[in-house]
Amino acid sequence: MLAILPNERQSQADARSLTDVLAALHAQSEISVEIVGPDRLAGLGADWSDLLGRADVHNAFMAPALLLAAAKAGTQVVTLLAWQPTPHGRRLVGLWAFSLGRPRGAIVPFKVLRAPASEHAYLATPVIDRGCVEATLAAMLDALAAAPDLPKTVTLCAMSAEFTDILQSVLASRRAHVCVFNETQRPALAGSADPEAYLQSALSSSTRKKLRQYRRRLGERGKLELHFSQSPEEVRCAAEQFLQLEAQGWKGRRGTALLSRAQDAEFTRGMLSGLAERGEASVYSLLLDGRPVSMQIVLRAGSTAFTWKTAYDEALGDLSPGMLLFEDYTKALLAEPAVTQVDSCAYDDHSFMASWTARARVVDLMFDVRKGAPLQARLATLINCNYRRLRARVKDRWHQGGAQLKSARKAIEKHVAARPAAQPQPARSAA
């Protein structure tokens, strides 16, 4: 047996490390990156589907149909397309889209590249071929750094934590400046579980009992049924019903419903129509005598589904139609073999979607694409990151205070209700 001495082991490790570096550099040199506008997005359908089959991370918010709808609604969309040569031409190995504008929630007003590109999108992760992730990321960053008419600062809102680790490693090799200013968890659903068994373990027995009561009482008011819209025409019709239902609720009163702004309504219609043509959008509706009382829009990319937005009839809020639909589409998604995971797109862990037992970590970060970012860029990034951190702390304290106040109010009401009623005093005579 040949013994390997410590210095020989180190030499072999160094040789392997050098080989890996040379292989990465060779892969990067083969990758070309285009920075394209909306006009190039319409013809990417086949390339996009092929890329999804080779990517570990599927992101519906990077779908060309969604980006094209955002651009038509007025968003300045910038898309990076990474290509790798093949014996018969080339293939798409990466897609990463941004919008141009001021950082969301920033105190220093300067223009940056923001991902996801739409304010109604909830994942910033690029879709990249699993065989060349680092090389593709490096080539994309080089392309952004060399573009004379684009900002050099990038802000990412809700980047998957696993991909953030890879990105930070690539940025570290470039000595680029990066600042992570928020990390959260949002509910997720892992596929392949038995639907009935899953809900039995995810929901308490008292919750399941209440849902059965609500479903029975709602069914007493008319015919209650679940409807699934998937064809392009069905999805377009359901989209109009959703816009109206959402606008009738608290979002409409606050002016934050999709129908409150023409650009948002145009984006929603265009995005759902474009995705539905590819079978990548669907709508679950809980119908009462044919009228939707709760609706859930679902987007898809590869084997991943995204529960995009939900709406319900607030006049029936005491019977929880939204929670009843949540129970129905949870079962439906778990029963679908093509879906391996579902992203809730929820910003917090306090809604009814928290019943899903899995959790997905997402990270907000800001960085400069240039190697060894200049001091000015570092200062701007630091100021904005600290401001975002401060805002997040204040928001957390505000929510904590509200929760404590609500708990105290309930305790007082319970205490008052438990007190015995005051006995009427006998009338005193006038004598």
Helix 133-146 to helix 161-173 angle (10° resolution) is: 60
Instruction: Fold for 192-339, please state it.
Output: Aminopeptidase (3.40.630)
DSSP one-letter string for 29-65? HH-EEEEE-GGGTTT-HHHHHHHHTTBSS--GGG-HH
Q: Tell me the domain boundaries of the chain.
A: 26-184+362-389, 192-339
427: pLDDT strictly greater than 80: no
Helices (H), 193-318: 195-202, 205-219, 232-247, 250-254, 262-277
Burial class (CB in 10 A: 0-12, 13-18, 19+), 97: buried
Can you tell me the distance from the alpha carbon of 334 to that of 390, in angstroms, rounded to the nearest whole number?
39
Residue range 18-38: mean pLDDT, rounded: 71
The string of pLDDT tens digits covering residues 306-324 is 999 999 999 999 999 999 9
Tell me, rounded to whole angstroms, the distance of Cα 119 from its chain centroid. Answer: 11
428: pLDDT strictly greater than 70: no
Residue range 49-66: mean pLDDT, rounded: 97
End-to-end CA distance of the chain: 120
Task: Kindly state the tokens that stand for 178.
Answer: 């990066």
Rounded to two decimals, the pTM is 0.83
The string of pLDDT tens digits covering residues 158-209 is 999 999 999 999 999 999 888 888 899 999 999 778 999 999 999 999 999 9
Contact, 168 vs 133, CB < 8 A? no
Can you tell me the distance from the alpha carbon of 100 to that of 91, in angstroms, rounded to the nearest whole number?
27
Radius of gyration of the chain measured on its C-alpha atoms: 26
Instruction: Fold for 26-184+362-389, please state it.
Output: Aminopeptidase (3.40.630)
Residue 157: φ, ψ to 5°: -110, 120
The string of pLDDT tens digits covering residues 81-135 is 999 999 999 999 999 999 999 887 666 678 999 999 999 999 999 999 999 999 9
